[in-house]
Amino acid sequence: MLFLTRRFSFSASHRLHSDAIGAAENACAYGICENIHGHNYRLEVTVAGEPDPKTGFFCNVMELHRVVDELVVKPSDHHHLNDVPLYAGAITTMEGLSQRIWAAIEPALYAQRMRLTEVLLAETDEHWVRLRKD
Amino acid sequence: MLFLTRRFSFSASHRLHSDAIGAAENACAYGICENIHGHNYRLEVTVAGEPDPKTGFFCNVMELHRVVDELVVKPSDHHHLNDVPLYAGAITTMEGLSQRIWAAIEPALYAQRMRLTEVLLAETDEHWVRLRKD
Amino acid sequence: MLFLTRRFSFSASHRLHSDAIGAAENACAYGICENIHGHNYRLEVTVAGEPDPKTGFFCNVMELHRVVDELVVKPSDHHHLNDVPLYAGAITTMEGLSQRIWAAIEPALYAQRMRLTEVLLAETDEHWVRLRKD
Amino acid sequence: MLFLTRRFSFSASHRLHSDAIGAAENACAYGICENIHGHNYRLEVTVAGEPDPKTGFFCNVMELHRVVDELVVKPSDHHHLNDVPLYAGAITTMEGLSQRIWAAIEPALYAQRMRLTEVLLAETDEHWVRLRKD
Amino acid sequence: MLFLTRRFSFSASHRLHSDAIGAAENACAYGICENIHGHNYRLEVTVAGEPDPKTGFFCNVMELHRVVDELVVKPSDHHHLNDVPLYAGAITTMEGLSQRIWAAIEPALYAQRMRLTEVLLAETDEHWVRLRKD
Amino acid sequence: MLFLTRRFSFSASHRLHSDAIGAAENACAYGICENIHGHNYRLEVTVAGEPDPKTGFFCNVMELHRVVDELVVKPSDHHHLNDVPLYAGAITTMEGLSQRIWAAIEPALYAQRMRLTEVLLAETDEHWVRLRKD
């Protein structure tokens, strides 16, 4: 099985806050992350497939780039994620963001005959989440 | 399936030597790695789970940090690994160390409702081992 | 001449805006950086000196860490830099931030007998500024 | 299950061109990548196995290094990949190169009792492919 | 004194060969680097100046980007450097390339009121050259 | 002025201890660094010069590699630095090590017509020292 991964990045601000819990629980769950702050996010998108024998590519990497850039990177880069429609109603943890990213790009990639298998989202080089579908 | 990974590091010395084989075989198997030497080890711990809808986190990353820091990083950092109780009786290859690390943290993470799925241990940026349980 | 450098990082949000120019000029000067967004800032502080022959250290690296952590990293990390007193009245470009950082830490380092020679501040791995005093 | 990964690199030039399609389609598929250009390739080879209880190693990492160095790195490093026999007839995309690398090293590693599970090939830090056999 | 550095990269091929010496001396001086091969070059350009009090920038970083992109990156990226007019007649060592880059961008940066102080060019992460004018 | 830098690395153990001060002062100065532990050291050596117009190189980078490898890297790699003759009598801080490295390589580089201008030694990615002679 062949996988292709492409890395993206965007600089954005966010704050962690949940409407489902009270002020004290918010303070307890998020600590200083309730303050508005920001990251250089790293996003790695992996698709699986078979190379086309005529071109040696198994997917058009430019299409992969275009889909993720338009649906995720441009709306997120240099914005405040809590205000971005893509993440409306979500808690802007890496978990919450990556689920919205998956939902946004999977059908668009599928329409270009690319099967999404992993979304990795990192706030820093010290921790990250991966959503995977084997 | 959602995975969260957190990276740790510790500086430690070790020497490779096996009591199960003779001096000549030790020299042959380990070469200059029989000398005492050291590394900045990189440790990446991955857990799997489902986000809590109230907080958007699927595990308490601070608990993950605390467990690995107390059980592995603090006892290993700035110590000689061949003398650390956690690795007593093990050969201090990356293979041997990572198995002890897995055994130490898996029950503690489970007690905090985190399912351990991968331990990656790297002596350098050039080579590393991963223990994985799918 | 011997120099010691220590690296710090903090995650923060900011927006670029100058009260000295009008809306059109702000838009022209800063583009999408007028939007609130954020970075994982990297800060490298360099001091010069001579090693103490008794300890082999030329400065107490823990003091260097404490000074920069208290005066810069803690007030900045997970905050909106435009609201942080350390940067009050400054435009929060890397140029503006680094000048405030220099002014804040130089006397405190000097009081610990460390001579500050360089402050490097990076918004991303692609560009950074350095303030230097030879 | 235990995996060991070792990283290699080589600097080489290539150009993307397919004999199966015409000039216009080549221009469309590859753009400026039809020009001769080059990369510092990063290659990561992963093998799976069980550690030998006598040595604590599950494979002889020096043998892994020797096999990949002789069969892939030396023939590729500082060469024009379109002229290298290992890739004869292949389109020198990352997809095409990685399949040839897999075919070359799998039997040689198997002869040394190492089971190949992944070949990762990166042209840049921004995109890479992985061939995987679970 | 304030310095701003911006990092660029380009993928290109080259071969080392000098018309001033014979075949044997070329083989001796360059070894396998006489073969056509390639790199992901890293280029870091540093300018010095004083921030404009109205904008907080000491130079227009977009102009810096535009100058280097047009004069160096675009003509070099995905090309064979021995055939690029910018390097005509030069030996394409890092030393030779960096001197041409300096000569090309210094007047254009000066015309935008930026004083060039350093050009760093790296073929790999293991070695690089710097041209500096204090 | 043209500078060439080459990066080296070695894995070694050390412990910090000074014979010039008592046990309590050693504990106070070095803390847990009095324990034997280790690092992947990064060493960057910079020389200055003028390129030879015939070859385009300003120094023979292979000679630079050979000198540093023989005089520093081989004696240090996979050894306990407190026992290595190169560092005999020195306190094995980065400051102490870098001064010995400078003294060892400067005459050997000079004999090959290379003028040493900087030695950078890093225990980790978080802190490092530089010895510089302008």
| Interatomic CA distance for residues E98 and E118, integer angstroms | 10
Distance in Å, alpha carbon of A41 to nearest chain D alpha carbon: 14
Residue of D nearest to E81 (CA): D37
Tell me which residue in F11, F14, F32 faces B39 most closely, judged by beta carbons.
Answer: F11
Contacts with F2 from chain E: Cβ below 8 Å: 95, 98-99, 129-131
Q: Measuring CA to CA, which residue among D126, D74, C24, F42 is closest to residue E11?
A: D126
Distance in Å, alpha carbon of B82 to nearest chain F alpha carbon: 11
Verify whether the Cβ–Cβ distance F5 to E130 is below 8 Å: yes
| Interatomic CA distance for residues F90 and C78, integer angstroms | 42
The pLDDT of residue C134: 65
The pLDDT of residue C50: 86
The pLDDT of residue A133: 83
| Interatomic CA distance for residues F92 and C94, integer angstroms | 36
Chains D & E: contacts with CB separation below 8 Å: 67
- The per-residue pLDDT of chain C, averaged, comes to 92
Residues in chain F: 134
Q: Does D6 touch chain B (CB under 8 A)?
A: yes
Q: Measuring CA to CA, which residue among A63, A132, A56 is closest to residue A98?
A: A132
Verify whether the Cβ–Cβ distance B130 to D2 is below 8 Å: yes
Task: From first to last of the 134 residues of chain D, give the pLDDT tens digit.
Answer: 899 999 999 999 999 999 999 999 988 888 888 888 889 999 999 999 888 888 888 877 889 999 999 999 999 998 999 999 999 999 999 999 999 999 999 999 999 889 999 999 999 989 999 999 86
Verify whether the Cβ–Cβ distance A12 to C40 is below 8 Å: no
Neighbours of A106 (CB within 10 A): 17
Instruction: Check pLDDT > 70 for residue F70.
Output: yes
Q: Give A 22-61 residues with CB within 8 A of chain C.
A: 32-33, 35-40
Instruction: Check pLDDT > 70 for residue A81.
Output: yes
Helix (H) or strand (E) holding C119: strand C115-124
Contacts with B14 from chain F: Cβ below 8 Å: 38
Q: Measuring CA to CA, which residue among F23, F25, F63, F35 is closest to residue F47?
A: F63
The pLDDT of residue F28: 85
Verify whether the Cβ–Cβ distance D56 to B98 is below 8 Å: no
Catalytic residues of E: 33, 78, 123
Instruction: Check pLDDT > 80 for residue C117.
Output: yes
Provide DSSP, chain A: -EEEEEEEEEEEEE----TTS-HHHHHHHHGGGGS-EEEEEEEEEEEEE---TTTS-SS-HHHHHHHHIIIIIHHHTTSBGGG-GGGTTS--SHHHHHHHHHHHHHHHHHHTT-EEEEEEEEEETTEEEEEE--
Verify whether the Cβ–Cβ distance C131 to E2 is below 8 Å: yes
The pTM score is 0.89
Q: What are the CA-CA distances from residue E134 to residues E1, E3, E49, E61, E100 (Å)?
A: 11, 12, 13, 21, 19
The pLDDT of residue B31: 85
Q: Does C95 touch chain E (CB under 8 A)?
A: yes
Catalytic residues of D: 33, 78, 123
Q: Which tokens in the block code for residue A117?
A: 């298998």
Residue of C nearest to A123 (CA): C40
Adjacent-strand bridge partners of B2: A131, B49
Q: Which residues contact D45 (CB under 8 A, 6 or more apart)?
A: D5, D6, D8, D64, D68, D105, D116, D118, D119, D120
- Respond yes or no: is residue C78 known to be catalytic: yes
Architecture label for domain F2-132: 2-Layer Sandwich (3.30)
Q: Which of B17, B37, B77 to mutate to test the interface with F (most CBs of F within 10 A)?
A: B37
Q: Measuring CA to CA, which residue among A66, A53, E11 is closest to residue D123?
A: E11
Residue of C nearest to A78 (CA): C37
Residue A37: how many CA atoms within 13 Å on its side-chain side?
23
Average pLDDT value for residue range A6-29: 91
Burial class (CB in 10 A: 0-12, 13-18, 19+), C55: buried
Strands F127-132 and C2-14: antiparallel
| Interatomic CA distance for residues B126 and B124, integer angstroms | 5
Neighbours of F73 (CB within 10 A): 17
Distance in Å, alpha carbon of A30 to nearest chain B alpha carbon: 9
Verify whether the Cβ–Cβ distance E37 to D123 is below 8 Å: no
Average pLDDT value for residue range B44-57: 90
In chain B, % of residues over pLDDT 70? 99
The pLDDT of residue B6: 96
pLDDT band at residue A23 under the 50/70/90 scheme: very high
Contacts with B7 from chain A: Cβ below 8 Å: 125-127
Instruction: Check pLDDT > 80 for residue F119.
Output: yes
Three-state DSSP state, F4: strand
The pLDDT of residue B134: 65
Distance in Å, alpha carbon of E53 to nearest chain C alpha carbon: 8
Adjacent-strand bridge partners of B47: B4, B116
Tell me which residue in F7, F56, F58 faces E126 most closely, judged by beta carbons.
Answer: F7
pLDDT band at residue C132 under the 50/70/90 scheme: very high
The pLDDT of residue D4: 94
Residues in chain D: 134
Q: Which tokens in the block code for residue C132?
A: 């230097």
Contacts with F9 from chain B: Cβ below 8 Å: 124
Q: Does F97 touch chain B (CB under 8 A)?
A: no
**D to C contact (≥3 Cβ pairs closer than 8 Å):** no
Residue of A nearest to D28 (CA): A55
Chains B & D: contacts with CB separation below 8 Å: 56
Three-state DSSP state, F16: coil
The C-alpha angle with vertex A16 and arms to A76 and B67, in degrees rounded to 5, equals 115
Q: Which tokens in the block code for residue F125?
A: 């990615």
Q: Which tokens in the block code for residue D111?
A: 């002869």
* Residue with tokens 């520093």, as numbered in its chain: F72
Verify whether the Cβ–Cβ distance C79 to A35 is below 8 Å: yes
Neighbours of chain C (3+ CB pairs under 8 A): A, E, F
Three-state DSSP state, F33: helix
Instruction: Check pLDDT > 70 for residue F134.
Output: no
The pLDDT of residue B28: 85
Neighbours of chain D (3+ CB pairs under 8 A): A, B, E
Contacts with D126 from chain A: Cβ below 8 Å: 6-7
Q: Which of A117, A119, A130 to mutate to test the interface with B (most CBs of B within 10 A)?
A: A130
What is the four-CA torsion angle of A19, A24, A30, A32, rounded to 10 degrees?
120
**φ/ψ of residue E130, rounded to 5:** -130, 130
- The per-residue pLDDT of chain A, averaged, comes to 92
Average pLDDT value for residue range F85-89: 96
Instruction: Report DSSP state, residue C115.
Output: E
The pLDDT of residue B33: 87
Q: Measuring CA to CA, which residue among C66, D38, A85, D119 is closest to residue E81?
A: D38
pLDDT band at residue A134 under the 50/70/90 scheme: low
Which sign does the torsion angle of CA C62, C128, F133, F105 carry? positive
| Interatomic CA distance for residues C59 and C114, integer angstroms | 7
Q: Which tokens in the block code for residue A17?
A: 């806050």
| Interatomic CA distance for residues B82 and F13, integer angstroms | 13
Tell me which residue in F9, F37, F80 faces B78 most closely, judged by beta carbons.
Answer: F37
Average pLDDT value for residue range C8-13: 92
Give the E-state strand segments of chain E in sequence order.
2-14, 37-49, 115-124, 127-132
Instruction: Check pLDDT > 90 for residue A29.
Output: no
Q: Does E80 touch chain D (CB under 8 A)?
A: yes
Q: Which of A13, A14, A76 to mutate to test the interface with C (most CBs of C within 10 A)?
A: A13
Burial class (CB in 10 A: 0-12, 13-18, 19+), C107: exposed
Buried b (16+ CB within 10 A) or exposed e, E26-38: beebbeebbbbbb
Largest CA-CA distance found in chain F, in angstroms, rounded = 61
Catalytic residue among B17, B33, B34, B44: B33
Distance in Å, alpha carbon of C44 to nearest chain F alpha carbon: 9
Average pLDDT value for residue range C69-73: 97
| Interatomic CA distance for residues E125 and F118, integer angstroms | 17
Q: Which of C2, C45, C69 to mutate to test the interface with F (most CBs of F within 10 A)?
A: C2
Average pLDDT value for residue range A74-96: 94
Largest CA-CA distance found in chain A, in angstroms, rounded = 60
What ipTM, to 2 d.p.?
Answer: 0.91
From the first residue on, what is the mean pLDDT of each consecutive set of 10 residues in chain E (134 residues)? 93 90 90 87 94 84 93 94 95 95 97 94 93 84
